[in-house]
Structure 1
Amino acid sequence: MAPSISHLFFNNDTLISGHATTQEAINLKFAIDLYSAASGQCINFEKSGILFSSNTNPSTQSSISRIWQMPEVNSHRMYLGLPSVIEANKKQIFSAILDKCWAKFHGWKEKNLSQAGRIIIIQSVIQSIPAFAMHCFKLPYATIDKIQSLTATFLWSGDPEKCSIKLEELGKTLH
Structure 2
Amino acid sequence: MEYLTRLLQLGAQQKEFRYHPLCKGLKIINLCFVDDLVIFCKANIGSVQVVKQVFEDFCNSTSLKANINKSQVFFGGVSAAVKDQLLQILQLEEGTFPLKYMGIPMRPTKWKMIDCGDILKKIKLRLHTWASKHLSYAGRTQLITSVLLGLRNYWMNIFLLPQRIVKEVDKLCLWFLWGNNGTRSNFHLTPWSTVCLPKRFGGFGEGTKWNKAMLAKYIWAISHQPETLWVKWVNTVYLKGQSLWQYQLKAYTSWYWRKICHMRDVFSQRDIDVAVSHGRFKVGLLYMRCIHQDPIKYHPLVWNRISVPKHRFITWQAVNGKLLTRDHLHRVFKQLNYLLCPIEDMRRDLIAALVAAVFSATVYYIWYNRNTCFVNHFSHRVNCIVDMIKKDISYRSRCFIQKKLTGKWWVFVRKLSFE
TM-score by length of 2: 0.33
When residues 138 and 35 of structure 1 are mapped into structure 2, their CA distance, relative to the original with a 3 A threshold, is farther
Query: How far does residue 94 in structure 1 lie from its aligned partner after superposition?
Result: 1.2
On the 8 A contact 1:106/1:159 being kept in 2, the answer is: no
Higher-Rg member (1/2): 2
On the 8 A contact 2:132/2:176 being kept in 1, the answer is: no
Task: Show the counterpart of 1:173.
Answer: none
Query: How far does residue 130 in structure 1 lie from its aligned partner after superposition?
Result: 3.9
Decide which of 40, 64, 87 is 1:41's aligned counterpart.
64
Task: Report how many aligned residue pairs link the two structures.
Answer: 161
Does 2:87 align with 1:65? yes
The whole-number CA distance in structure 2 between the counterparts of 1:135 and 1:16 is 25
Does 2:126 align with 1:104? yes
Q: Read off the aligned partner of 1:96 and give its amino acid letter.
A: D
When residues 24 and 120 of structure 1 are mapped into structure 2, their CA distance, relative to the original with a 3 A threshold, is same
On the 8 A contact 1:106/1:160 being kept in 2, the answer is: no
Decide which of 23, 33, 41 is 2:46's aligned counterpart.
23
Q: Read off the aligned partner of 1:103 and give its amino acid letter.
A: L
Task: Show the counterpart of 2:97.
Answer: 76
Query: How far does residue 133 in structure 1 lie from its aligned partner after superposition?
Result: 4.1
Name the SS for the 2:97 alignment partner: coil
The whole-number CA distance in structure 2 between the counterparts of 1:15 and 1:101 is 30
Decide which of 142, 145, 155 is 1:120's aligned counterpart.
142
Matches within 5 A, 1:113-152: 113-152=135-174
When residues 110 and 132 of structure 1 are mapped into structure 2, their CA distance, relative to the original with a 3 A threshold, is closer
Structure 2: runs of 5+ lacking an equivalent: 1-10, 13-18, 187-419
The whole-number CA distance in structure 1 between the counterparts of 2:172 and 2:55 is 47
Q: Read off the aligned partner of 1:147 and give its amino acid letter.
A: V
RMSD, matched Cα: 3.3
Residue range with higher mean Cα deviation, 103-112 or 62-71: 103-112
The whole-number CA distance in structure 2 between the counterparts of 1:132 and 1:30 is 39
Give the ranges of 4+ consecutive aligned residues of structure 1 lying more than 6 Å apart after TM superposition. none
Q: Read off the aligned partner of 2:149 and give its amino acid letter.
A: Q
Query: How far does residue 33 in structure 1 lie from its aligned partner after superposition?
Result: 2.8
When residues 84 and 17 of structure 1 are mapped into structure 2, their CA distance, relative to the original with a 3 A threshold, is farther
Query: How far does residue 25 in structure 1 lie from its aligned partner after superposition?
Result: 1.0
Name the SS for the 1:34 alignment partner: helix
Query: How far does residue 16 in structure 1 lie from its aligned partner after superposition?
Result: 3.3
Decide which of 160, 173, 176 is 1:154's aligned counterpart.
176
When residues 68 and 79 of structure 1 are mapped into structure 2, their CA distance, relative to the original with a 3 A threshold, is same
The whole-number CA distance in structure 2 between the counterparts of 1:107 and 1:56 is 46
When residues 18 and 144 of structure 1 are mapped into structure 2, their CA distance, relative to the original with a 3 A threshold, is farther
* Residue-by-residue CA offset, 1:74-112 (whole Å, 9 max, x unaligned): x43653444342656622221121122133234435433
The whole-number CA distance in structure 2 between the counterparts of 1:118 and 1:68 is 52
The whole-number CA distance in structure 2 between the counterparts of 1:103 and 1:89 is 23
Structure 1: runs of 5+ lacking an equivalent: 164-175
On the 8 A contact 2:30/2:40 being kept in 1, the answer is: yes
Q: Read off the aligned partner of 1:70 and give its amino acid letter.
A: L
Q: Read off the aligned partner of 1:76 and give its amino acid letter.
A: F
Query: How far does residue 6 in structure 1 lie from its aligned partner after superposition?
Result: 5.6
Q: Percent identity?
A: 25
TM-score by length of 1: 0.69
The whole-number CA distance in structure 2 between the counterparts of 1:60 and 1:9 is 27
When residues 131 and 11 of structure 1 are mapped into structure 2, their CA distance, relative to the original with a 3 A threshold, is farther
